[in-house]
Structure 1
Amino acid sequence: MEGEIKAEFEKNGFILDNEEEILNKCLTFCINYKLNPSDLVSSWDVYSLNRKLKDLVVQNVEMEGFLSHLQNEQKEAVVKQEADLHFYSSKDVDMILNDDEENFKDAILSTPPGKNAKPYSDPFDSALYSNGNGYSSEKPSRLVTPFGRRTDKFVARFNFNNLPDTENGDEKDAGMDSEDDVIKRVKPLKRFSLVVNGDGPEPGCRFMYDRIEDRFNALDNRIRRRAASLFSSGIYEEPSDPSVASGRSIFAVGMICCEEEGRLNDKSIMLQSSIEHSGGQRVRLDLQKVNQFSVFPGQIVGVEGNNPSGYCLIASKLVDSVPLSANNVEDLHPAKRPALDQDIQLVDSSSPEKEISVLIASGPFTTTDNLYFEPLSELLAYARKKQPQLLILLGPFVDSEHPEVKKGTADRSFDEIFHIEIIRRVQDYVEHMGSNARVILVPSTRDANHDFVFPQPAFDIHPPELKHQNDLVLFVWFAQIKSLPNPGIFEANQVRVGCCTVDILKQLSGEELSRNPKDGSPPSDRMSRLASHILNQQRQLQHENIPESSFYPLYPPAEDVPLDFSLSPKALHIASPPPDILILPSDMKYFIKVLTLGGTTEGEEQRKCICINPGRLAKGEGGGTFAELDYGGSPDRMNASIWSI
């Protein structure tokens, strides 16, 4: 049989470095795992591609890693037959038998050097525990990765603390000594409500059927509704046609456009009004007299100014937001008050207080040098320790920009990677945390295993084999693990949360044209200003239940955004009231900002929204950042941190 193994290697172009010893080990592999020489060489071919071995020399030093690869293949074959089967490592047994908190922490959050001066402890065992069920990536034993070389596990990069730290007091620690080992590690979570907005497209929907007419009508409707909102506020007059020559000052509403291809500049700004007011014509917009502004293509604005020639509208004032407090309830017709009262009663004083603890992380969830998903394992281990009520994971999960995905060298399909490396780890996490833990998944247009369209339907995370599972497994899938469309809105404990995985902040940053105040006042914070563009136009019309804000106000969209106007038109809208928390993951630097909405006119109320960019959980070959938030009902009652992993 050794001769057959050697012949098979040579047939596939491989050269044996230490022939006798390698053939002896390969013979043992064939006997132990019931492989024929052809299957063995095929597995080596996959292993060498995953390890990115440049030459075709089979080296004896790789045999130990190859053994772990074969073991994982055998485990996955068993897993496919028995989905409920659990695998345990020696560290699992030690944690169960020994009441040692330090050993438990080391098993999850640290990788100390072992004997014989190994720079990294057995990574397979570490990943296996973090995964819980043992559905680990095919990470060879004793393999050092750049992610594993990091010295600091979790480092706080940013803190926003307005609440006293009562979670780590002596009373909590003292009460843990009398509990058994399992309860000691998993404290019961508070129950909370979770309501998901259903305006997004459904999984399996048809897309790429939008027409030019659909796009034009969608843009014109945005302009028309904004004009109606500004006029109904009672502050501004009825919009006029900005393309008509007039010596008097007028008020016009339209969309900012760029006259030519390329980035917006002060000489190429155009204003496109609605069909109702100007037949959809464009006119040049001059902002030289405006003290401060921030505009981008696709933004709907109100303009006060005059057009003496008919070719250029000279602006004296730019209105980019709609007053929140315009038209009080007392001014409504009596027939309209009952419907509004039904909405107001949602904030009745008898309702539970808004409180939520959440961890927020955005993909990629694995480093660029492998598909081991080590950062995700570390995040879930941290979540097991901190025990948040909600864990929000935002795509990409199987990143189409990952080198192995782009080259097609992965030995599994994208769906298999997603379900084995992501879903099964998350399932094990909620089983470990208990029935009150919740996880929300939001896809990304960069997900290789999902529809490339925006707005994007939710993941279909419920495999067909679940139909034959018991009620407990079904509860875990359907009640504890939720998938939202992209963008999506949900309410947790009456805390309204909006999220969008398209990098709108980076795209707005590349298209925005702004001017700082000329009077010497300090300039506005740039990241807050970019995030405010999503919400500062928020207001709901009295006579039409139509939301005004958009998760993606930029038009034309960026080249990598497959925007489809015909797909669920309401999916991009942010319905009133504005969210308490807005999650906008971006490649730009992480931040946590408190945005102030309203207050631009005298007597207008102000509302606050927390905007969070958690950063990316994995950056290159190292770890990235994620966000932790304890929200007590308002920005004045919250603790927020950005953690580096």
Structure 2
Amino acid sequence: MKTVSKDEIRQAFAGVGLTSVDQSMISKCVAFANNHHISSKSMAECWESFSLNKSIDALDEHSWQSFRSDLEKEAERNPTPLQVESCSSSGAVQTRPAMGKRQLPTVTPPAKRVATPPNNTKSAVDAVLSSTTASPVKSASPSYTPPKYEERAGAGKVILTFNPNDLKPTTTAADSNTTTTPKCSIAYQQFDTNVTAQPHRHLFTTMEDRAKALDKHLVQLEDIMMERYNIKGKDDDDTPMMMEDEAEIAPLEAVAVPRQDKICCIGRICNAAHEGRINHTSVVLEGSKHLGGARIEMDVSLLKDGEKQKDFSLFPGQIVAVEGMNSTGRKLTAHRICEGAAHGGNKSTAKQLLEYHYSRQNGTPLKIMTVAGPYTTSDNLGYDPLFDFMSIVMQEKPDVVIMVGPFVDLRHKDIQSGEASLLFSDGSDDMTVPYEAFFANKIAGLLEEFFEGGDFKTQFVLVPSLDDATADWAYPQAPFQDRVFGQRGKVILKKAGGDGLEINTLGLDQIEKGAAGDNNAASADAPFRRIHCVSNPCTLQLNEVIIGVTGTDAIFHMSADETNANLVPGSRLARIGQHMLQQRSYYPLFPAFPGANLDLKRMKQWSMPCQPDLLIVPSKLTSFARPVLGDTVLVNPGHLTKNTTGGTYGVMEIHPMKREELETAGGVGDVELDHNIPNRLHLEIRKI
């Protein structure tokens, strides 16, 4: 096996989202890879699995020992055969282990590293050779103990910055959020894809309804792609039969119809294996019903490493236009792939932008904080990280805080065991309560205390998650709401001689009642509310800025079932986010990742009505912020907690456009200007 270099290790780590690694750690990885004959790709895949399982996002001295233990196990599971010199024409002969037991090498092994002092543990080889059973091999490395939240290091540290134009962040004193009215309005009712709170039957969908929903979505995107790429039918007079210009697309044809000329087929990517991750050899293209609805093998070898080598990224459920040859009707050899069609960037008139930036915002940036649950660590229900985050919000005084679930995490061991209990006000004893009452005490109660602490104009946006105990369990999700409406549905539990506890309500209405008289904030139709409960996913408009948010980890789900080739190193995550825009969907993967619970009958309600300026997708993967398709910034703020320790959150400032430019454009007429958010954005990802 060839020697692994430092650059190969860096590129492999960048491909899985680990972009910042110390030089000393790179050297250790190179030494380990060469000593144990592990490829850079295998090491990066092992890190991706390790970081997700252990909730670790940095490779340092503290996490190296445990990571090395996983690497040793990987090396034992997948040993690389040694190569020996030979006189044969091939130049090398590989030894092959015998079936049922390990075969010792017939050549002199490389020199061993300096051994650590003996600690009465067997080496991995001795453990395998001395045992006749398949018992696991224990590493001599010390086991990794996750640090506690109170012991976390680097609280408040900025771990990532997105600031292409070197914009200066504003200070709290310069922008104190003490205006008489909020600096921005939050609108979401105009987007017809947002889920309403109307009751309905979840997942009550027949097989026929599911098939119709999938085919309808395919046909809609098929029409859009034909118009975008100027794809004509075979019999259209203005379509040239022989195309020498590579920019032109061949005429449209049904998937399974054999043709001797180059054709273009539009369909949905499927996995021929049905189970497991899709790969280059298992790609199948499925056509729409009105074009036959057939499935055909799709050969991407020419794009991967052939004469027409191009980059591509494919996943099940993706709708693509494929140009190539299908001479037999059984295999489509791809020459080019068009991976969807995005909406395009957003525009507003100069008059509107002047109103937003200099009448409402008074020439100051729009400050947005974004955070995602879980909001308490896995070892308790104290919600200390949420308390600390709200203290930061009180100091930063943002205009909007976007909070994504889970708020009451169904995966938390104490929630699963039914031990969600609250203390009475006198602290004498506790009582197990419903999830709604727990939410009202831990979440709504903290928000209410925040507004009681000062005259803040901050607006909170609450987005549910599929792991929320107080939300629906099917995607898309309706906004948070009380299960029983009206005063008659509320129940008061009282302790003898003590205070009462209200259940069957989330307690959010109390926050709005506290703002009565200020812009009619208690009214559901008021332009400025303190708390906005929206659906998952949702599309919001903050002044001119369009923000898309989903509480489902679409980035991780798609990365787990995607195949690609020839991508620029470090661009894989941005490419996955690009798929969401090109497929015009907050969740384009189908079949869905286990636990996603897609309600296909409501497929329209997780589609994108427009291309967001900011696309917020909290993910288990390493936090990042990447420009996508030029007009959108894809943001993964991470999660507020990771296992037993703290996580990350995001702080964004969207700076206004220059006043003279807007006034000049406004004098011409109703000139529409691009929002240009990537060049106006200053973003930081910080540790809690």
Q: Residue 417 of structure 1 aligns with which residue?
A: 438
**Aligned residue type for 2:230:** I
Choose which of 531, 537, 540 in structure 2 pairs with 1:490: 540
**Aligned residue type for 2:278:** L
Q: Residue 472 of structure 2 aligns with which residue?
A: 451
The structure with the largest helix share of the pair is: 1
Cα offsets for 1:184-230 (capped at 9, x unmatched): 99676752111014531425332121111121111111221222112
Q: Residue 39 of structure 1 aligns with which residue?
A: none
Cα offsets for 1:543-592 (capped at 9, x unmatched): xxxxxx1111000111201100223x43111012x111100001111111
1:457, distance to aligned residue in structure 2 (A): 0.4
Q: TM-score under structure 1 normalisation?
A: 0.65
Would you say the 8 A contact 2:448–2:511 is kept in 1?
Answer: no
Q: Residue 171 of structure 2 aligns with which residue?
A: 168
Q: Residue 596 of structure 2 aligns with which residue?
A: 561
Counting only pairs closer than 5 Å after superposition, residues 287-366 of structure 1 correspond to structure 2 as 287-290=300-303, 291=309, 292-322=311-341, 348=352, 350-353=354-357, 355-366=365-376
**Aligned residue type for 2:148:** P
Distance 1:433 1:276, change over 3 A: farther
Choose which of 645, 658, 665 in structure 2 pairs with 1:622: 645
Distance 1:155 1:325, change over 3 A: closer
Q: Which runs of 5+ in 2 are unaligned?
A: 1-146, 234-251, 304-308, 422-432, 488-506, 656-674
**RMSD value over aligned CA atoms?**
2.9
1:166, distance to aligned residue in structure 2 (A): 5.8
Counting only pairs closer than 5 Å after superposition, residues 212-611 of structure 1 correspond to structure 2 as 212-233=207-228, 235-238=230-233, 239-260=252-273, 261-278=275-292, 280-290=293-303, 291=309, 292-322=311-341, 348=352, 350-353=354-357, 355-411=365-421, 412-434=433-455, 436-460=457-481, 464=486, 472-473=514-515, 478=524, 479-516=529-566, 522-523=568-569, 525-537=571-583, 549-567=584-602, 569-576=603-610, 578-596=611-629, 607-611=630-634
Cα distance in 1 between the residues matched to 2:344 and 2:379: 52
1:344, distance to aligned residue in structure 2 (A): 6.9
Cα distance in 1 between the residues matched to 2:325 and 2:439: 57
1:345, distance to aligned residue in structure 2 (A): 5.9
**Aligned residue type for 2:591:** P
Cα distance in 1 between the residues matched to 2:209 and 2:463: 26
The SS at the match of 2:301 is coil
1:514, distance to aligned residue in structure 2 (A): 0.4
Higher relative contact order (Cα pairs below 8 Å, separated by 6+ residues): 2
Distance 1:469 1:459, change over 3 A: closer
Cα distance in 2 between the residues matched to 1:167 and 1:344: 25
Which stretch of structure 1 is more off in the superposition, 254-263 or 439-448?
254-263
Cα distance in 1 between the residues matched to 2:650 and 2:291: 46
Distance 1:476 1:382, change over 3 A: farther
Would you say the 8 A contact 1:186–1:432 is kept in 2?
Answer: no
1:348, distance to aligned residue in structure 2 (A): 4.8
Distance 1:433 1:514, change over 3 A: farther
Distance 1:268 1:150, change over 3 A: closer
Would you say the 8 A contact 1:500–1:584 is kept in 2?
Answer: yes
Cα distance in 2 between the residues matched to 1:186 and 1:344: 27
Q: Which runs of 5+ in 1 are unaligned?
A: 1-144, 174-183, 327-339, 538-548, 597-606
Choose which of 202, 205, 222 in structure 1 pairs with 2:197: 202
Would you say the 8 A contact 2:617–2:636 is kept in 1?
Answer: yes
Choose which of 149, 153, 156 in structure 2 pairs with 1:154: 156
1:435, distance to aligned residue in structure 2 (A): 5.6
Cα offsets for 1:379-411 (capped at 9, x unmatched): 010010010000111000000110101222222
Cα distance in 2 between the residues matched to 1:431 and 1:389: 17
Cα distance in 2 between the residues matched to 1:379 and 1:396: 15
1:146, distance to aligned residue in structure 2 (A): 2.8
The SS at the match of 1:550 is coil
Counting only pairs closer than 5 Å after superposition, residues 17-166 of structure 1 correspond to structure 2 as 146-161=148-163, 162-165=165-168
**Aligned residue type for 1:319:** C
Cα distance in 1 between the residues matched to 2:183 and 2:167: 22
Would you say the 8 A contact 2:397–2:456 is kept in 1?
Answer: no
Would you say the 8 A contact 1:581–1:609 is kept in 2?
Answer: yes
**Aligned residue type for 1:256:** I
Cα distance in 2 between the residues matched to 1:384 and 1:480: 14
Cα distance in 2 between the residues matched to 1:488 and 1:346: 26
Cα distance in 1 between the residues matched to 2:280 and 2:169: 53
Which stretch of structure 1 is more off in the superposition, 528-537 or 357-366?
528-537
Cα distance in 1 between the residues matched to 2:221 and 2:510: 51
1:296, distance to aligned residue in structure 2 (A): 0.2
Would you say the 8 A contact 1:254–1:274 is kept in 2?
Answer: yes
Cα distance in 1 between the residues matched to 2:536 and 2:344: 30
Cα distance in 2 between the residues matched to 1:450 and 1:503: 17
Cα offsets for 1:466-512 (capped at 9, x unmatched): 88999544555651101110001111112101100111111101100
Cα distance in 1 between the residues matched to 2:607 and 2:288: 19
Q: TM-score under structure 2 normalisation?
A: 0.61
Count the aligned residue pairs.
447
The SS at the match of 1:352 is helix
Cα distance in 2 between the residues matched to 1:277 and 1:433: 62
Q: Residue 130 of structure 1 aligns with which residue?
A: none
Cα offsets for 1:255-297 (capped at 9, x unmatched): 000112221122221100011112x111111111122210000
Cα distance in 2 between the residues matched to 1:575 and 1:641: 28
